[in-house]
Every structure is written in C-alpha cells, then in structure tokens.
Structure 1
Amino acid sequence: MVNKETSISKDMFAPAGIDPAKSEKIAKPSLNFWQDSWLRLRKNKGAVVSLVVIVILVVLALVGPYLTPYQFDTQVAKNNNLPPRVQGLENVHWLPFDGTLTRRNGTEYNAYEVRNVKEYYWLGTDGLGRDIFARLWKGTQISLFIAFMAALVDMLIGVTYGAVSGYIGGRVDSVMQRILEVIVGIPNLIVAVLMILVLKPGITPIIIAITLTSWTSMARVVRAQVLKFKNQEFVLAAKTLGASNSSIIFKHMIPNMFGVIIINTMFSIPNAIFFEAFLSFIGLGLQEPNASLGTLVNDGFKSMIAFPYQMVVPSIMIAIIMVCFNLVADGLRDALDPKMRD
C-alpha cells in the first residue's frame, strides 16, 4: 500500500523554469533566401571590403572627371610629362607628390619650378599635356561601362539560349549545342579584330566583340540548371496547371537560377575589363581623344622608362578592379550556393 504522505503528484513533474506558452516560440525572425545569403556574405570580410571599394570606384568614375579643373581631352603642350603634384604634399619629399623628376645622371629636379608651372596636376600629365587624374577616372568610367554592358548582353543571350536549349531538349538541343561548340572554337581575338575592322573602333564594336563569344559559358551553365530542374515537382505542377513553356522557363525556372546567373555575371565583368584593356593596349580599342584604362596603359608604356607613373597609375587601377570583382564573385558564390564550397 502507498502512503498518502509519500504519494507522487503531477505537480512534481512540472517543467522547472520553462513557460509552456513560450516553449514553442521561434526566437529568431524568419529569413528569406536573399536575407540569408546577405548574412553569409557579410561574414566574408574580403568580399565586403571589395564591394565597398567597387562602390567607391563607381562613384569616383562618375564624379572624378569633375573634381579637377582640367578636361580629360584638353591638351596643354607646354605642361607635358609633368609628375604628380598635390597641394599640401609638395613639401613632403618622401611622397611621390612633390613634382620632382630624376635625370639620367641620378640628380633630381622640380619639373614645375624649372618650367615655371603654377598649376597642380594631382597625378601628373601625359605626353600631350593632358591631366592624368581626369583621364584616369574617365577611362575607368568607360571601361566599367563597356564591362557592365557586355555582361548584361552576355547574360541576356546566354540565359535565353541555354534555357531554351535545355528545356526543349532532343534534336533541337543537339543542334543548338553544336552551334555553341563552333562558336567556342573561334578565338576571341579573331572575332574582335574582325568586328573592329568591319566597324570603326569605338565602344559599340568592343561590346559586340566581347559579347559575341563570351555568352557561351553562361549558356552552358543555364542549360545544366534547366536540365536539373525540368523534371522536378514544381515544373511538373506548372505543366499540369496548363502553364506555357515560356512561362515555365522565365517565371519558374530562371528565378530559381538567379544565384548561378549573378555569380557568372560577376565573373564575366573583370574578364570583359581585361579584354577591353588588352584590345586598347594593342591599338584595337578606343581612339583618341577617348580614354579607357587600356589606352592609358598603352600611352604610358611608350614613355615607361622616363615617366613610369603614366603607366603605373592605370595599371594599378585595372588590378584593383579585377581583384575586387573576383573577390566579390567568390563571396557571392559561397553566399548564394553554400554547396559550391564543397
């Protein structure tokens, strides 16, 4: 027999210190795909710093030519090949902004005082007396514009081509992939040279030359994603409900590929910048008086030994842009698709 004084009651099994009403409460707010991706991207310090640098460079590319009183295409022959000189830093001789140059015998002299030049050129002047600071940001502006336009056209053509090829499949897919293989087999440089020979050198021929062959990698990636998605449940449900093929591709499949599309687009931007700089460096890019980073490097290369700053400054800018875009693309790849890290 159980003693009443030692009997076990239900009150003895009450949870200690836990409110049953709050035990099922979700402590953290629910996040959608993009919010969760942004949280993962913020943990990548290199990608965040690179993104900030890119934003600063884009802003300076837009407003930089107006920060100096000199125009990027204005020639002042008497002020040619002047070294960098900045107000307030001209007396700090351990910085390269005091306006001094070195003769062949090793002696230094102040080029501004020798020529009796009162103006200040923050990054110096080129062989025609044009302000390198204004030309640098104008060239960055044009190079970024070409890269972004090429990436946009690349994305539009590649996504459409790859999605149609993968979704239709069969003989149509085989024919479209053979065409793709033929285009991939043509060297980019040959296409660029032919386009620039047919059309006069300028921004439009360079964009066309870059996009004619660069969209193939995007098409292949999108086709692979479509082949993976087209037999999944949400696509079969859309077909059952009577959705058209174009609706299934562009309203159901492509939104599920935004991560892959953004990543490939971010990787294509630095490639386009480098290709444009290469074309301009070999003389197939923009023509005078227009400026891009490639033309600035080409101009500086001609006088590299006597005036190295004319080539070093745009070369550093190209390096910074390419490194930053690649770091941001790597960060986006890890944030939008964590499985790709494995």
Structure 2
Amino acid sequence: MANSQIKLTKDKFAPAIIDSSLGEAIDKPSLNAWQDAWLRVRKNKAAIVSMVVIVLVILLAFTGPLFSGKEAKTQTLPHNNLPSRIPVLENISWLPFDGMRTLNNGTQVDIYEQKGIEEYYWFGTDGLGRDLFTRVCEGTQISLYIAFLAALLDMLIGVTYGAVSGYFGGRLDNYMQRFTEILSSIPNLVIVILMILVFKPGIVSITLALALTGWVSMARVVRAQTMKMKEQEFVLASRTLGASNAKIIFKHLLPNMVGVILINTMFSIPNAIFFEAFLSFIGLGLQDPLASLGTLIDDGFKTLRLYPHIVIYPAIFISLIMICFNMIADGLRDALDPKMRD
C-alpha cells in the first residue's frame, strides 16, 4: 500500500548527464615496458628473495676479507684443519660454530683449547692453516668474475653473430649456421684442454674456453628472433626511409630483443660457474695460490670424512649462487614474456 502512494515525477525519467571528456581519462599513471615488467617481477617472491641473496653474497665476497682481518694465502701450520668458531654463536650449543670436533669414539673435543689457540676462524681452516672464510670470499670473487666475463663475451659474440646471420639470411646464413654446428659438436672439455696447452691454466684459459662455445645457444636464439622480426612493418619502414642494415640491426631489432637476451645471459651465468667448478674439481682449473669455489670444493673433497667443514662452506656458496641466478632468470622470463602477462 505504501509503494502505491509514491509519486513518479517527470524529473525521475530525465536522462543522466554524462561528461564525455572523462570517457578516455586515464586513472593510473602510464608505465613503460620495463616498469610493467618490474611490477610482475615483484609478484614473484622467489625471484625477489634470490636477488636479495645474490646482493648479500656479492657484498660478503668483497667485504668479508676486511672483517676477518686474515689473508687467504697466509699459512699457519699449527692452526691446520680447525673447525668453525664464531664469537657469540659459539655459546649456542646446537650450532656448529663452537670449535668442537667429534672423534671416532664419539667424544667431543675443543680443538682450539687443545691447541691453545685464542683466535677465531669463522669457517675454520684448511690443511695448511689458511683461513677458510677469507678463501671462500675470494673464491666467490673469482668464480663470479669468470662467470660474468664469460657471460658478457657470450652475449657480445652471440648477439652479433645471430643478428647478422638471421638478418641477411640466404647463403651467408647457411654458412654461418654450419660453422656453429661444427663448433657445438666439439666437446667443451677438448677445447679446455687445447686452451690449457696454448695458455697456462688460469682465468684466461678458462674464460676463453667458456666463451668459445658458450655463445652458440645465444646466437641461435637471436637468429630466430631476428628472422621473425625483420619482415615486420617497423623494419620495412626503416628500410624504406633509407636506414642502413647496421642501423636496422642495432637500433631497431636488438632493442626489441633485450628481454630474450637478458634472460639467456642470466641462465648462462650459473652454467659458467658450474663449468668452472667442474674444471677446477678435475684439476684443469685454477692453480695455487689462486682459489675458486671449485678448487676449494676439490680440496675439501679429499678430506671429506675427516674435516667436512672444508667442503661444506664453499658448496653452500656455490649452491646459493646457482639456485638464485636460476630463480632470477625464471622470474625475468615470466615478467618479460608477453604470453605470461596477467
């Protein structure tokens, strides 16, 4: 009954007043491709945590020797094979940082007290009494240096080679691809041995061995992307306006492949670290007094049952680096791939 008494006036049927100028208004700020990609990377918790861990590892690698106050090459034979001992943490019984060692009969002995040593070795010492913490930090520096240098060479050679091959095509592309097939068919270990025969075992020979064959996969990816993009409208427009081939490749094609190039470079870094560690482990890597994570693992593996701490710490560092770089590469691939957008 109450509803029937409501009066409907003409103004209730008047059309709504709509401001047409607000129809195309943008409420959110515009984002470029990299800002949009960063927003998607931030949603990947594993990639963000991996970035933080990598930054901490790099900072520790370069600042750790300053805090320890010890030299990586200094040998103190009376302090050989000491277990880990860290101030404050040594008072926590369930942490392995108290300088105790379990003997074969099951008894625990304080090695520092037994030898009358008052110094602290955070990661313990090796068979020659060298501070393992400082050696792990400097070994991380060398491993990262080799990995980043090899990845940079892979990127420079592979991107240029693949872009030229894919852009010009035809007989030149055929010859260039046959060369890459021949090069990729040669085992990396053979190339490393040849490099060691020509050069002395060291950073140069390992880096050259990694760079000689590591760029092949990058070249193939860039070639495929170039062949897909070179017939698109923006390339045809540039060619019509008189742009040279070099300008089209390096100013128009390669900037559109930055995401693919960055992802492949990030994946190549852990591969280079693992390959360098493998070479050092089999005795084809760095020689004393230089030490990478691979040589430290090789030294610790020889006395694994007696002194496991010598191999545990460099193994933890190399595992963290490889896992984190792979997680970052996965996060970048998901963020830069248009098919993965929300």
CA offset at residue 338 of structure 1? 3.4
Partner of 1:104: 104
* TM-score, reference length from structure 1: 0.95
What is the alpha-carbon distance in structure 1 between the residues aligned to residue 81 and residue 341 of structure 2? 49
Partner of 1:143: 143
CA offset at residue 60 of structure 1? 1.4
Partner of 2:3: none
Partner of 1:241: 241
Partner of 1:203: 203
> For residue 228 of structure 2, what is the amino acid of its counterpart?
K
1:327-338 paired onto structure 2 within 5 Å: 327-338=327-338
What is the alpha-carbon distance in structure 1 between the residues aligned to residue 113 and residue 152 of structure 2? 49
Partner of 1:38: 38
* TM-score, reference length from structure 2: 0.95
Deviates more, 1:61-70 or 1:142-151: 61-70
What is the alpha-carbon distance in structure 1 between the residues aligned to residue 338 and residue 187 of structure 2? 34
Partner of 1:93: 93
CA offset at residue 134 of structure 1? 0.3
> For residue 29 of structure 1, what is the amino acid of its counterpart?
P
Q: Which deviations, in whole Å up to 9, do the C-alpha atoms of 1:62-112 show, x marking residues without a partner? A: 111211111111111110000000111223221101101111222110000
CA offset at residue 23 of structure 1? 4.0
Partner of 2:14: 12
What is the alpha-carbon distance in structure 2 between the residues aligned to residue 142 and residue 60 of structure 1? 13
| SS of equivalent residue, structure 1 residue 101 | strand
Could you tell me the percent identity over the aligned residues?
Answer: 64
Q: Which deviations, in whole Å up to 9, do the C-alpha atoms of 1:266-324 show, x marking residues without a partner? A: 00000000000000111111111111100100110111100001101111111111110
CA offset at residue 21 of structure 1? 4.5
Partner of 1:51: 51
What is the alpha-carbon distance in structure 2 between the residues aligned to residue 341 and residue 282 of structure 1? 44
Contact 2:266–2:329 (Cα < 8 Å) also in 1: yes
Partner of 1:157: 157
CA offset at residue 24 of structure 1? 3.0
Query: Unaligned stretches of 5+ in structure 2?
Result: 1-7
CA offset at residue 9 of structure 1? 7.3
* 1:190 equivalent in alignment to 2:190: yes
What is the alpha-carbon distance in structure 1 between the residues aligned to residue 21 and residue 340 of structure 2? 40
Contact 2:84–2:97 (Cα < 8 Å) also in 1: yes
Partner of 2:5: none
1:252-291 paired onto structure 2 within 5 Å: 252-291=252-291
Partner of 2:134: 134
The verdict on how the C-alpha distance between 1:258 and 1:328 changes in structure 2, with shifts beyond 3 A counting, is: same
Q: Which deviations, in whole Å up to 9, do the C-alpha atoms of 1:8-63 show, x marking residues without a partner? A: 67981024xx6554343211011000000000110100011101111111111111
Q: Which deviations, in whole Å up to 9, do the C-alpha atoms of 1:151-185 show, x marking residues without a partner? A: 00000000000000001110000000000000110
Q: Which deviations, in whole Å up to 9, do the C-alpha atoms of 1:221-250 show, x marking residues without a partner? A: 000000001100011011001111000000
What is the alpha-carbon distance in structure 1 between the residues aligned to residue 214 and residue 143 of structure 2? 17
Partner of 1:69: 69
CA offset at residue 115 of structure 1? 0.4
What is the alpha-carbon distance in structure 2 between the residues aligned to residue 154 and residue 262 of structure 1? 11
What is the alpha-carbon distance in structure 1 between the residues aligned to residue 179 and residue 10 of structure 2? 81
What is the alpha-carbon distance in structure 1 between the residues aligned to residue 197 and residue 204 of structure 2? 13
The verdict on how the C-alpha distance between 1:167 and 1:340 changes in structure 2, with shifts beyond 3 A counting, is: farther
| SS of equivalent residue, structure 2 residue 91 | coil
Contact 2:83–2:100 (Cα < 8 Å) also in 1: yes
Pairs aligned (count):
336
> For residue 25 of structure 2, what is the amino acid of its counterpart?
K
What is the alpha-carbon distance in structure 1 between the residues aligned to residue 274 and residue 9 of structure 2? 83
What is the alpha-carbon distance in structure 1 between the residues aligned to residue 139 and residue 126 of structure 2? 14
Deviates more, 1:256-265 or 1:313-322: 313-322
> For residue 131 of structure 2, what is the amino acid of its counterpart?
D
